[in-house]
Structure formats: C-alpha cells, structure tokens
Structure 1
Amino acid sequence: MSRPLIGITAYFEAARWGSWVREAVLSPPSYAKSIERAGGAPVVLPPLNLHAIDDYVRGLRGVVLAGGVPMGADTYGAEQDERVEEAQAHRDRFELALARAAVQADVPILGIARGMHVLNVAQGGTLIPWLPEVLDNDKHGEPHTPHVIQVSVSSKLGKAVGDKIEVVSPHTQSVRRLGNGLLAVAWAEDQIVEGIELQGHRFGVGVQWHPERSQEGGPAGGTGSKLFDALVEAAR
C-alpha cells in the first residue's frame, strides 16, 4: 500500500551549522517520525509562496499544522499584547491560507498547539491573547506539569485517544470564540478548550498539546501515535 503524502508546516529563519549561518526551513523531526511511524510519507512545507497553496492541497493527502510561536493578534482582529512573543507574519499568512484551502478541499488536517489556533482563526474564530490574565494564574504555562483533560467520546479525537488523557501542554494563548463549523471536543478541568473538531469534514482536528512528543511514554504516551494513525487513515 502506498504511503499518503502528509505536509508539515515549518519555520523559515536563520539557522547555524558549523561556521555557517543561513536561512533554513526548520521542522522538529518528531513530526516527520510520527507520520512515518503511522504509515504516511512526511513532506516539510516552507512558508514561502502563497501561490503554491493550491498545488500543495492538490498533491497532499493530509496536512499537519505544526506548533510554533503565537499567532499575531492582527490575524483575529485584536491588539498585540506586549507580553506575547513576536509573531511571524509570513508563517501566519501561509498557514492560514493553507488551512482554508485544506478545509475547502476536504483534506485531512491535524492542528497541533499553535496549529489548533491556526485552524480556529482560519475558520473565523478568535483567541485569548494572554491566558494568565484571564485565569489569574499561569498553570497552563507550566512546562513540565501534566494535567488530565476530558474528551468527547463521540468525536474523532475521542475515538482516537479515549475519553480522558494526561498531557503536558504549556501555552499562554487559547481558543476564545470558536470558528465556523468548529466544536470544542476536549477541555481542561477549568474548561479551557484543549481540542477542537471541524464538523462535516473528513478529518479536521486540533489539539492544544503535542502528540508528536508523546510517542515514547510519559504523559499521553501511546495516545500520540493513535492520533497520527487516525490522520493517516483518513488520508488514505
């Protein structure tokens, strides 16, 4: 059986190797390894040419909207908070266009962390720019503390990972208003949205945590591979 091509969004910025510093297309290998383990063929997508979006969507069988720096507040009609890391406008433009085209073409999508936010904003949703201010605490920003989230068992996400999962998902932004056609399908104990799903789409799922990091045990161990399995199966 042939392996479906799965595109992975990436950084485009300066990188160093040896004595050289050059612009590079960067993607953590855990995304590609997770797709390969699930039976897909990973392809890294440089965030360069918006004119290539339609060609990508025609050639790919699935898309992973990968994690990264927070989205710019201008993408969802808000003012940039000075506490938020500087956005990468070129990546915002590329990934929003890619997400919209993939939704339109019914290409399976998995949005991870920032990628979940991209999917939500692409559908007209908004984000909470600085979550600690809304909650009056920074427990969602803790980098090593696992927490349990509840998942809707009737959702595609729930069918892949079950009704409860322990994850580590440090983040300072979150979904505020859901985009068109999206439903919340996973929640932290304080009801912050940790998973979304696009209704009527073959596979349009976004998660706040990083399933590609959870393949080798620890929080969400084993369930990360199931989510990539579900993506690749939908891509077939």
Structure 2
Amino acid sequence: MYHFNRVCFGLRCSPYLAMKTVKRLARDETDFPIASEIASDHLYMDDLGVSVDTPENGIQLAHDFIELFKRGGFDLVKFVSNSPEVLKSIPQANRLSSKIEFDKEDNMKLLGLIWSPVEDEFSIAIKFNPQAKCTKRLMLSTIAKLWDINGFCAPVILHAKLLIKALWVAQIDWDTEPPSDICAAWKRFLSELPALQDFKIPRFVGIVPESRVILLGFADASEKAMGASVYIFVQPASGPNEVNLIGAKSKVAPLK
C-alpha cells in the first residue's frame, strides 16, 4: 500500500487539498498574523493579490509571506509589484522577472486579467480565431475563454450569453451551423471583440487613509436579461473625489 507525502497536482481532489493545506498552514503559524490572515482569505488557487498603504508595509508583508510559506515547505515565487522599492527588497529568485523596472509590455496575469505594473491598470485577455466556423461547439469554446471574474465587461459577456441562449432555443447540434441570423450576430461579435483589448481598468480606486468611502449599487432587468453593478465613491480628506466600477454581474432571463 502506498500513500502520498506531498500534495499532488492533477488529481480531482488537488484544488481542494492545495487550498486546505494553505488554510491549515495559515491557522497554525501564528508568528505572522497579518500574512496568515491574508493567505487564508485572499488566495485563489495559486494567485495571491493584496494591496498595502506604503512600500514599508509591502516590504514587511512580502518578507512575512516568504517565511510563512517556507514553514509549510512552499517556495513563494513570482512576486511582482508596482513599487520598485518593494521589488528590490525581495530576493531575486522569488521575483517574477529579473528586471526591477518594468516596461509597459511587461504584463502579468492575475485571475484571468492582465495587469500592467508600470501603468497599474487591468486589461482583458482576448484569444480567439476570427476565421473559425460558426458552429455551436466553436462558439461555446470561444465564449468560455472570456474570463471576466469582476464583471468589468459584463455587457459584452451578456451578449455572448444571449447567443448561447439562442443556440439552445434553436436546438442546434454541436457541429451544425446555426441559422443565418445567429451566424451574422456571431460574426459581428467576433469583429468587435478585439476592441476589448483597449479597455483599461485602474487597479487603484483612490482609497487613502481618512477617506470617506461609499458603495453605490445599481440593478435593472428586461425581458432578455438582468444585471447589477457596484461602484465605489471615494472622498479623500484632500483632493478630487473618485468613482470607479468594482464589480458587475449579468444573467440571461429564463425561457419561462
């Protein structure tokens, strides 16, 4: 009889075991309370993203993260920051890139979003074949690649969901070409999809110490779909106010 001494990759239970192991590590290691709390609540599979107020706090937190995970036998690597001061404090082997100063093309992915550290902005990754045939299988495959966890592009994703609904209503087989109206709408959707690459979302929403923060929620519905969005209104002690979208959700109306 054999048993694993490591958390294996590729098994059906692997995602659960990985997250459970980290949560247990964060609970057991009490020497780093802030890092433990963040690791327990802000880790999504193998991505950990967090913001701090000052470079000094970032340097201390990065050090605590490395030591915390080292106690569990993990090497925490691929650190990246929009602060060169924070990056200089992190060992070379733990950084994402050998360069400290990031070029505008040095982007990284975080939960499906592209983050440019130098501009401190998110953008959407678009990968599709504009020449692909119009079939249910290829349409669903393309739509599944539109990963937008925060709903920044909810209106665009909703349009894709409506196309999926039209396919099911028409009872189209997987490799059968849909009716001409669906194909025309699909080709137009593909032709306009690259415009999302120019859509930029600021990571920093303006919250600083002593700010007044208000969350604003909106919702609406029609016969086709329903949607909701949440904005954050930040009123700092000095300087201009800021309003930014922080999340949205859309849902196609049911058939009945």
Q: Which has the larger radius of gyration?
A: 2
Q: Choose between structure 1 and 2: higher strand proportion.
A: 1
Could you say whether these structures have the same fold, taking a TM-score greater than 0.5 normalized by the shorter chain as the test?
no
Q: Name which structure has the greater RCO, CA cutoff 8 Å, separation 6+.
A: 1
TM-score range, shorter chain: under 0.3
